[in-house]
C-alpha cells in the first residue's frame, strides 16, 4: 500500500510541477504580450499624433487657400464694376447674379459709400455700421468671421463702393470632414476667443453643447504636460501643438494649428479608443502567437475558423454584389454546379418571381436541382447542349418550365461556364421569360405557312410594286393566265392587256399609291392569254418605312367577272335585298320625289301615339317633336329634309348614317343609329329612301363612359393633362384666339407634401377633391379646368373680359383655397401659388403659354408663395399682381 501511495504522491507532485511549469510559461508569455501591447500602443499613439498633425496642416492650408481664392475672385470681380457710372444700374445688379453663381457666393451685394447695399433681386440693406464695410471703405480686402467677403470698388483712384457677399461654406465643410481613422476624427475651425467658425459632424457633440471652445475645455480634465492655461496661452500666442484630456470619461487627443486667416485655428480630435481599434489587429496577432505556442491544434482550429469566416464574408459580399446586379436585370439569374444534379448555388429574386416558387419550395419540390425544374420533354435537349462545356463558352438554351402559378412558360437561358476564387467550376445563367415572343414566332411561322399554302392554291394574282424602281414583280404563277412576265420593269406592258378606260383607272390607282395613300384600288377589264376578257378588281396596299414614306405596295388581282356580270344583271334586286337584310328596330320607306311617307314598317310605338299625315314633309316635324331628344331635333330635321336627301342622292351619296337620341313613351332617352339608303325605283324613276333605326343605347353608353374616363382625372373629375393640352391646343388654332384675351393659369398647392406626410394620402386625396370643387365654383363651366398631375392644376379662361378680370379670378381662387380644410382635421389647411399667362400676347401654343405661366409660378414660389402673379414680357422675371 505504501509504494502505491508513494507513486501516487510522486505522480501527483510531477503533475503539480508540470502544472506549475505550464503556469510559469503562461505567465511569461502573458507578461511578454503585455509589454508588447504597451509598446505597440505607445508607438501607435505617436504615429497617430504625427498623422493628426499632418491632417491639421493640410486642413489649414486647404481652408486658407480657399478663403484666399474667394477673396481674390471677389477683388478681381470689382474691376467689372469700375466701368459702371451708376453702381445701382440694372446691368450692374444683373452682373451680381452671374458673379454669385460662378464664384460660389450667396447674397452678393454692391454697397455705395452711404452704406446702402443693393442685391440683384432689388433688395436694399443698410450695411453702414458693419465692420467689414468700414474696412472695405478704407481700402481693405478680406473676409469677416461670418464668412462675408469684401473688396473695395475703385473708380478714378478712389473707393466708389464695396462688393461683398456671403461665401458658400459647403466647400469648407468638405474640407473639414476627414476620411482618416475611419471618419472618427472630429474637426472644427475656431477663433482665438473660442467662437466656433466651422464644425464637422463628429465634433458637434463635443463642442456645440457649450457654444464656445474655451467653455468646453474649461470643464475637461487635462492629462500630460499641457493644461488649460498653457493650451490657452499657446493659441493666443499663435502657437500649435497637442493636448490630451478626458471628455465624458473618454480620453481624447487633440491637435491645434493656426489657419493663417484672421485669427482662426483648426482643431482635430480623436479618441484614444479609436487609436486602440487600429492596434487591435496587432494584439490579435499576439494572441494568435500565444495560441500557436501552446498547441498546434488551436492553430489549426483558429486557421479553419479564420478562413471559414473569410470565405463566408467573401461569399456574402459576392452574393450581395450579384443580387444588386441581377435584380436590376430583366428576367432572372442562376448559379448552379456543372455536375449531373445541377445544384442551384444562387437564385436571384427575378428568377424567383418568374418561377413562382420560393427558394424553400425549390429545395423541397425540385431537390434544388436545375434539371428538375425543366419541363420533361425539353430536358434531353438541354442536357445534350450542356455536355462537355468549356470555360468561357456561352451556351444558349430554350426550354419550358411549369411555374408555381400553373403556367407553362418558355425560357431563354444563356449560360457561361466559369470558375470561382477557389477554382471550382460553375454555370452562371441569365434567363428571360420569352413566352410571348415564342407565341409571336409560332404565330408568324404559322402565318407564313398559311400564306405559302394560300399562294399555292389561290386563283388571284399577287404582285409587289417597288415604288423607287417603278417595277412590278408577280408572286403567284397565276400571272400566266394573262400572259404577264414574272417581272415588269416597264408598267406600260400591262397596259397592252387593258382597254383605254381600264388603263386610265389603273394609272389613277397607282398614282394614289405613289402619292402616299394607305390603300387604293380600281376595277379593270383585262384580256386573258386565251383572248377572252375578264373583269378584275385591283387592290393596292402601301408599306411605309420608319419615316412614313411609301416604299413598296402589295397588290392583288381578283377575278370578279362573274360577280360583275351578276351585279349588272341584278343591280335592282341586290339594292333592295341589301336594304331588307339590315338588322333594324324600325324601317321607314320615304318617296323623296313624291313627298310621300308611303310605308312604315316596325315603328308601331310611333304610329300608335301619333296620327301622321301622308306627306312626308308634314309628318317629319311631328315624329321628331314626339320621339327625338330636344337637343338633337335640329340634326334629325336637317338630315331628313327632302332637300338634303335629294342633294345627297345627286352627289352620289347613296347612304347616310348618323346617331342621335330618341325619347320613348316614358320619357327615357335612348341612343339609336340611323342608316338611310337612297336609290332610284327602276319602275317609276322615283328617288326613295329606306331608313333603318337600330337600338345602340347600351353600346353607345359604354363608348361615352370610356370616353369620359379617358379624358378625366379619376380622383378629381377634372380634365387630365393629355385632354387639357388637346382642348387648349385645338382652341388656340381657331379664330376665337384673336377675339379678345384668354388666360392660362397654373395652380400649385404650397407644401402639399406635408399634408400627405402628416395626415396620410387619404387626407391628401380628400384635400385634392376639395381643391377641384373650389376651382369649379370660382371659374365658369365653359373654362377648361384640369389636374396636370400631383398637386398641380391648370385653368384656361376663354374670352376673358380683361387681364384685370383674370387676375381677380386668380386672387379669388387663392383666397377660396386658403379657407378650405378637412372636416375631421380642421388644422389641415392649404395655400396655393398661381402663375398666369395671356393668350395670344404671351404665346399661341400650349407649350408657349405653359412655359410663361410656369415662369410666373416659379417667381411666386421664390417670393413667398400663397399669391398669384402674371408674366410680363418686358422683364426677365414675372411681375407680382398686387
Q: Which residues are catalytic?
A: 791
Q: How many CA atoms lie within 13 A of 831 on its CB side?
A: 10
CB 143 within 8 A of CB 169: no
- Residue 250's CB is within 10 A of a number of other CB atoms, namely 11
- Write the CB contacts of 355 (distance below 8 Å, at least 6 apart in sequence): 332, 362, 373, 401, 403, 404
**CA 534, CA 562: separation in Å to the nearest integer?**
9
CB 355 within 8 A of CB 328: no
- Can you name the residues that pair with 158 across neighbouring β-strands? 155
Beta strands in 815-874 (DSSP E): 821-822, 825-829, 832-839, 868-870
CB 445 within 8 A of CB 433: no
10 Å CB burial of residue 332 (0-12, 13-18, 19+) is: buried
Of 425, 427, 426, 405, which Cα lies nearest the Cα of 414? Answer: 427
Tell me the three cell numbers of residue 699: 353600346
**CA 127, CA 148: separation in Å to the nearest integer?**
12
**CA 170, CA 427: separation in Å to the nearest integer?**
49
Tell me the three cell numbers of residue 340: 449531373
- Report which DSSP code applies to 374: B
Kindly report the length of the chain: 882
**CA 600, CA 237: separation in Å to the nearest integer?**
118
**CA 587, CA 601: separation in Å to the nearest integer?**
5
Of 269, 237, 276, 273, which Cα lies nearest the Cα of 255? Answer: 269
**CA 642, CA 685: separation in Å to the nearest integer?**
16
**CA 847, CA 854: separation in Å to the nearest integer?**
10
Calculate the CA 549 to chain-centre distance. 32
The b/e string for 416-449 (b: 16+ C-beta within 10 A; e otherwise) is ebeeeeeeeebbbbbbbbbeeebeeeeeeeeeee
Of 668, 602, 683, 678, which Cα lies nearest the Cα of 640? Answer: 678
In 458-560, which residue ranges form alpha helices assigned H by DSSP? 492-495, 500-514
CB 245 within 8 A of CB 217: yes
Any idea what the Cα angle at residue 772 is, between residues 767 and 775, rounded to 5°? Answer: 125
Q: What are phi and psi for residue 116, nearest 5 degrees? A: -80, 125
Amino acid at each position: 500500500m505504501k509504494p502505491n501511495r508513494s507513486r501516487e504522491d510522486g505522480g501527483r507532485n510531477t503533475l503539480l510541477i508540470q502544472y506549475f511549469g505550464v503556469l510559469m510559461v503562461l505567465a511569461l508569455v502573458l507578461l511578454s504580450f503585455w509589454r508588447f501591447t504597451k509598446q505597440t500602443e505607445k508607438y501607435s499613439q505617436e504615429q497617430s499624433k504625427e498623422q493628426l498633425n499632418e491632417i491639421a496642416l493640410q486642413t489649414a492650408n486647404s481652408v486658407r487657400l480657399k478663403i484666399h481664392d474667394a477673396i481674390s475672385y471677389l477683388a478681381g470681380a470689382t474691376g467689372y464694376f469700375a466701368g459702371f457710372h451708376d453702381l445701382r444700374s440694372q446691368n450692374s445688379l444683373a452682373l451680381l447674379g452671374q458673379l454669385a453663381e460662378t464664384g460660389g457666393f450667396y447674397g452678393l451685394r454692391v454697397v455705395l459709400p452711404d452704406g446702402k447695399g443693393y442685391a440683384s433681386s432689388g433688395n436694399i440693406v443698410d450695411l453702414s455700421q458693419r465692420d467689414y464695410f468700414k474696412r472695405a471703405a478704407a481700402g481693405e480686402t478680406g473676409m469677416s468671421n461670418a464668412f462675408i467677403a469684401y473688396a473695395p470698388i475703385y473708380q478714378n483712384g478712389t473707393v466708389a463702393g464695396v462688393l461683398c457677399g456671403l461665401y458658400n461654406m459647403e466647400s469648407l465643410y468638405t474640407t473639414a470632414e476627414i476620411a482618416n481613422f475611419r471618419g472618427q476624427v472630429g474637426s472644427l475651425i475656431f477663433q482665438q476667443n473660442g467662437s466656433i467658425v466651422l464644425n464637422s459632424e463628429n465634433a458637434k457633440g463635443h463642442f456645440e453643447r457649450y457654444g464656445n471652445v474655451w467653455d468646453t475645455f474649461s470643464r475637461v480634465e487635462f492629462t500630460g504636460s499641457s493644461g488649460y492655461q498653457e493650451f490657452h496661452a499657446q493659441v493666443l500666442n499663435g502657437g500649435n501643438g497637442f493636448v490630451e484630456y478626458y471628455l465624458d470619461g473618454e480620453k481624447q487627443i487633440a491637435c491645434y494649428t493656426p489657419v493663417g486667416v484672421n485669427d482662426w485655428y483648426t482643431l482635430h480630435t480623436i479618441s484614444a479608443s479609436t487609436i486602440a481599434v487600429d492596434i487591435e489587429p496587432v494584439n490579435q496577432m499576439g494572441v494568435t502567437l500565444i495560441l500557436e505556442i501552446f498547441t498546434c491544434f488551436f492553430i489549426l482550429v483558429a486557421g479553419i475558423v479564420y478562413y471559414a469566416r473569410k470565405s463566408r464574408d467573401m461569399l456574402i459580399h459576392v452574393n450581395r454584389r450579384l443580387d444588386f446586379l441581377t435584380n436590376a436585370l430583366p428576367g432572372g439569374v442562376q448559379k448552379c454546379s456543372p455536375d449531373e444534379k445541377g445544384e442551384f448555388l444562387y437564385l436571384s429574386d427575378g428568377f424567383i418571381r418568374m418561377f413562382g416558387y420560393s427558394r424553400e419550395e425549390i429545395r423541397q419540390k425540385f431537390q434544388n436541382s436545375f434539371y428538375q425544374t425543366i419541363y420533361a420533354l425539353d430536358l434531353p435537349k438541354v442536357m445534350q447542349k450542356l455536355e462537355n462545356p468549356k470555360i468561357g463558352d456561352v451556351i444558349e438554351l430554350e426550354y419550358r418550365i411549369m411555374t408555381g402559378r400553373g403556367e407553362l412558360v418558355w425560357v431563354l437561358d444563356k449560360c457561361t461556364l466559369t470558375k470561382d476564387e477557389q477554382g471550382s467550376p460553375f454555370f452562371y445563367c441569365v434567363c428571360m421569360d420569352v413566352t410571348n415572343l415564342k407565341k409571336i414566332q409560332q404565330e408568324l411561322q404559322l402565318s407564313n405557312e398559311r400564306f405559302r399554302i394560300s399562294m399555292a392554291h389561290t386563283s388571284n394574282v399577287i404582285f409587289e410594286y417597288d415604288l423607287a424602281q417603278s417595277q412590278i414583280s408577280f408572286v403567284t404563277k397565276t400571272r400566266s393566265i394573262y400572259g404577264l412576265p414574272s417581272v415588269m420593269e416597264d408598267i406600260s406592258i400591262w397596259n397592252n392587256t387593258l382597254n383605254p378606260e381600264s388603263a386610265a383607272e389603273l394609272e389613277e390607282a397607282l398614282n394614289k399609291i405613289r402619292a402616299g395613300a394607305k390603300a387604293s384600288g380600281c376595277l379593270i377589264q383585262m384580256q386573258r392569254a386565251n383572248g377572252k376578257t375578264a373583269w378584275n378588281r385591283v387592290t393596292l396596299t402601301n408599306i411605309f418605312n420608319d419615316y412614313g414614306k411609301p416604299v413598296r405596295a402589295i397588290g392583288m388581282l381578283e377575278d370578279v367577272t362573274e360577280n360583275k356580270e351578276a351585279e349588272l344583271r341584278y343591280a335592282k334586286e341586290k339594292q333592295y335585298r341589301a336594304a331588307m337584310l339590315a338588322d333594324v328596330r324600325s324601317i321607314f320607306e320615304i318617296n323623296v320625289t313624291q313627298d310621300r311617307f308611303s310605308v312604315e314598317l316596325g315603328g308601331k310605338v310611333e304610329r300608335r301615339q301619333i296620327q301622321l299625315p301622308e306627306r312626308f314633309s308634314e309628318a317629319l316635324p311631328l315624329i321628331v317633336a314626339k320621339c327625338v331628344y330636344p337637343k338633337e331635333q335640329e340634326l334629325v330635321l336637317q338630315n331628313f329634309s327632302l332637300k338634303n336627301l335629294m342633294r345627297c342622292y345627286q352627289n352620289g351619296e347613296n347612304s347616310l348614317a348618323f346617331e342621335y337620341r330618341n325619347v320613348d313613351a316614358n320619357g327615357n332617352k335612348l341612343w339609336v343609329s340611323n342608316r338611310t339608303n337612297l336609290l332610284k325605283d327602276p319602275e317609276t324613276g322615283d328617288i326613295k329612301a329606306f331608313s333603318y333605326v337600330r337600338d345602340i343605347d347600351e353600346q353607345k353608353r359604354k363608348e361615352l363612359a370610356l370616353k369620359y374616363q379617358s379624358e378625366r382625372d379619376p380622383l378629381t373629375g377634372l380634365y387630365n393633362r393629355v385632354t387639357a393640352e388637346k382642348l387648349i391646343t385645338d382652341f388656340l388654332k381657331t379664330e376665337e384666339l384673336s377675339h379678345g384675351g384668354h388666360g392660362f393659369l397654373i395652380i400649385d398647392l404650397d407644401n402639399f407634401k406635408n399634408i400627405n406626410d402628416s395626415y396620410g394620402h387619404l387626407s391628401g386625396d380628400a384635400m385634392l377633391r376639395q381643391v377641384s370643387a373650389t376651382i369649379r365654383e370660382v371659374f365658369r363651366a365653359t373654362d377648361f379646368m384640369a389636374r396636370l398631375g400631383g398637386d398641380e392644376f391648370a385653368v384656361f379662361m376663354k374670352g376673358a373680359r380683361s387681364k384685370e378680370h383674370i387676375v381677380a379670378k386668380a386672387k379669388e381662387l387663392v383666397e377660396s383655397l386658403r379657407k378650405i380644410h378637412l372636416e375631421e382635421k380642421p388644422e389641415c389647411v392649404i395655400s396655393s401659388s398661381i402663375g398666369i399667362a395671356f393668350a395670344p400676347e404671351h404665346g399661341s401654343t400650349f407649350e408657349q403659354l405653359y412655359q410663361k405661366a410656369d415662369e410666373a409660378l416659379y417667381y411666386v414660389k421664390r417670393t413667398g408663395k400663397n399669391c398669384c402673379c402674371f408674366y410680363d414680357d418686358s422683364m426677365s422675371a414675372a411681375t407680382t399682381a398686387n
